[in-house]
Amino acid sequence: MSLERKDDHDHKGWMQERDLTPVETTYLTVLMWLDKRLRVVDYLEILEDLYYKVNMQMPKSHTEQYNLDNKFWYWYPLYALGSFSTIAYVVAAISGALLGFYYSPATTGDPTTAYNSITFIMTELRFGFFLRSLHRWSAQVMVAAVFLHMLRVYFTGAYKEPRELNWIIGIVLISLTMVFGYTGYLLPWDQLAFWAGQIGVEMSLSVPVAGEWVAQLLFGGFSLSQSTLQRMYILHVFFLPFITTAIIAIHIGIVWMQGIAEPH
Amino acid sequence: MTDDEPTASADAETGGRDVEVPMDVYKAVTVFSTLFAVLCVVVGFVVLDAATQRATAAPEDVNVVLAVVGLGAIALGAGVYAFSTRFRAREMGNSKDDAT
């Protein structure tokens, strides 16, 4: 779009033809003078143009083409689940960053430093109970929302061409979400966490050929120790956040470019 | 407005005046008059707030001059907005004209 003004009329002459009062003439002259200098209208038109370009969608939606709205309207609330997951993720990220000020991943002492820091957050820290609950519940909500989002995508056929790639990315994301959940589950280092960790080690060891290597890599050994908790912590607060955030951005970016899928 | 003839520039009976202007002038009128109106009203309320100390001042403590200026700015904003509604672009008759 060009900023050059289209010359579709006589700039000076038209005012004389109209039967304008002096106030109207002055008013219009002032506004035209301002517009010529500030170009606000032109900039707004650029924004309008941008708005339509940015929101470009598939040519004609399936529901429109075959008039399916009467059959599919009850799916539409479930189209909010993706946003719901994202919101839960953001809430968990913020509350998790705040929890990070008070948590320390150390297995020293009895009970351990890690467990003690959880106790401190839950019993002494101001709003600590609230903060940890917020983090835990947003994590639960995210797992549930991501799973239901996947069901919605599956049952409305939204994974079909041209959206296969985003479906695969979604599979990666739901896996990352569960790894997020697992690593976070181990951090309190209580009985629940410890034996969940034990199960994790044994599951890794049961993998053919690569099992021992996987256990070493993820859990820092074949039995639970300081290195296990340390690795879970770094995975939870450093490794996964970067990767997951980046992939979520790509996932949403592709949805943005392709438009919302219509039911098939 | 209640003009019976869309091309008329004035309607003496109802007082509603209708001025047809070129499209880009109409856009300038819409944008700038809205801008002025919003600005006047907001500034008016801010000034009125200052004059009455956020409506907490006792009646004798109210700064009358400032209050009048504030009310005046609000009225001016409304006036500019109302005044600008008389301008319209070609083929932008009101729906009542289209119906008849």
Q: Which of A172, A174, A173, A196 is nearest to A183 (CA)?
A: A196
User: pLDDT value at position B17?
Assistant: 80
Gap from A52 CA to chain B (nearest CA, Å): 19
Buried b (16+ CB within 10 A) or exposed e, A205-244: eeeeeeeeebbeebbbeeebeeebbebbbebbbeebbeeb
Q: Which of A192, A186, A200, A198 is nearest to A236 (CA)?
A: A186
Residue B83: list chain A partners with CB under 8 A.
23, 27
N-term to C-term CA, chain A: 37
The reply to whether B18 touches chain A by the CB within 8 Å rule is no
Q: B24–A41: do the CB atoms touch at under 8 Å?
A: yes
Instruction: Measure the CA–CA gap between A256 and A250, rounded to whole angstroms.
Output: 10
Interface test with B, best of A31, A34, A38, A45 (most B CBs within 10 A): A31
Higher per-residue confidence, B20 vs A62? B20
User: pLDDT value at position B5?
Assistant: 41
pLDDT in tens, B58-87: 989 999 999 999 999 999 999 999 999 888
Is B7's pLDDT higher than 50? Answer: no
Q: Are A88 and A96 in contact (CB under 8 A)?
A: no
User: pLDDT value at position A220?
Assistant: 94
Q: What is the ipTM of this complex?
A: 0.73
Q: Is A84 exposed, middle or buried (0-12, 13-18, 19+ CB in 10 A)?
A: middle
Is B100's pLDDT higher than 80? Answer: no
DSSP B26-87: HHHHHHHHHHHHHHHHHHHHHHHHHHTTTTTS-GGGS-HHHHHHHHHHHHHHHHHHHHHTTE
Mean confidence (pLDDT) of chain B: 81
Gap from A36 CA to chain B (nearest CA, Å): 9
Buried b (16+ CB within 10 A) or exposed e, B7-38: eebeeeeeeebbbbbbebbbbbbbbbbeebbe
- Helix residue ranges, H only, A126-163: 128-155
Is B3's pLDDT higher than 60? Answer: no
Distance of CA A258 to the CA centre of its chain: 17
Residue B39: list chain A partners with CB under 8 A.
none
Gap from B28 CA to chain A (nearest CA, Å): 6
The reply to whether B29 touches chain A by the CB within 8 Å rule is yes
Instruction: Measure the CA–CA gap between A158 and A161, rounded to whole angstroms.
Output: 8
> Which of residues 32 through 71 in chain B touch A, CB cutoff 8 A?
32-33, 35
Total-model pTM: 0.58
Dihedral of the CA atoms A157, A158, A164, A169 (nearest 10)? -120
Enumerate the β-bridge partners of residue B21.
B89
From the list B19, B32, B84, which residue is nearest A20 (CB)?
B19
User: pLDDT value at position A6?
Assistant: 57
Residue A27: list chain B partners with CB under 8 A.
83-84
Is B10's pLDDT higher than 90? Answer: no
Enumerate the β-bridge partners of residue B89.
B21
Residue with tokens 């953001």: A90
Distance of CA B42 to the CA centre of its chain: 13
pLDDT in tens, B36-61: 999 999 999 999 999 999 889 898 99
Q: B21–A28: do the CB atoms touch at under 8 Å?
A: yes
Chain length of chain B: 100
Chain length of chain A: 264
Q: Are A142 and A177 in contact (CB under 8 A)?
A: yes
Average confidence (pLDDT) per 10 residues, chain A, 264 residues: 59 76 90 91 90 67 69 81 96 97 93 95 96 97 97 91 94 97 97 96 95 95 95 97 97 89 68
Size of interface A-B (CB pairs under 8 A): 46
Residue with tokens 């399916």: A68
pLDDT in tens, A155-184: 888 999 889 999 999 999 999 999 999 999
User: pLDDT value at position A168?
Assistant: 97
Gap from B67 CA to chain A (nearest CA, Å): 27
Q: Are A248 and A199 in contact (CB under 8 A)?
A: no
The reply to whether B82 touches chain A by the CB within 8 Å rule is no
User: pLDDT value at position A56?
Assistant: 65
pLDDT band at residue B13 under the 50/70/90 scheme: low
User: pLDDT value at position A176?
Assistant: 97
Residue A31: list chain B partners with CB under 8 A.
25, 28-29, 32-33
pLDDT band at residue B1 under the 50/70/90 scheme: very low
- Nearest Cα residue in chain A from B22: A9
The reply to whether B24 touches chain A by the CB within 8 Å rule is yes
User: How do strand B19-21 and strand B87-89 relate by DSSP bridges?
Assistant: parallel
pLDDT band at residue B2 under the 50/70/90 scheme: very low
Buried b (16+ CB within 10 A) or exposed e, B69-94: bbeebbebbeebbebbebbbeeeebe
Residue B20: list chain A partners with CB under 8 A.
18
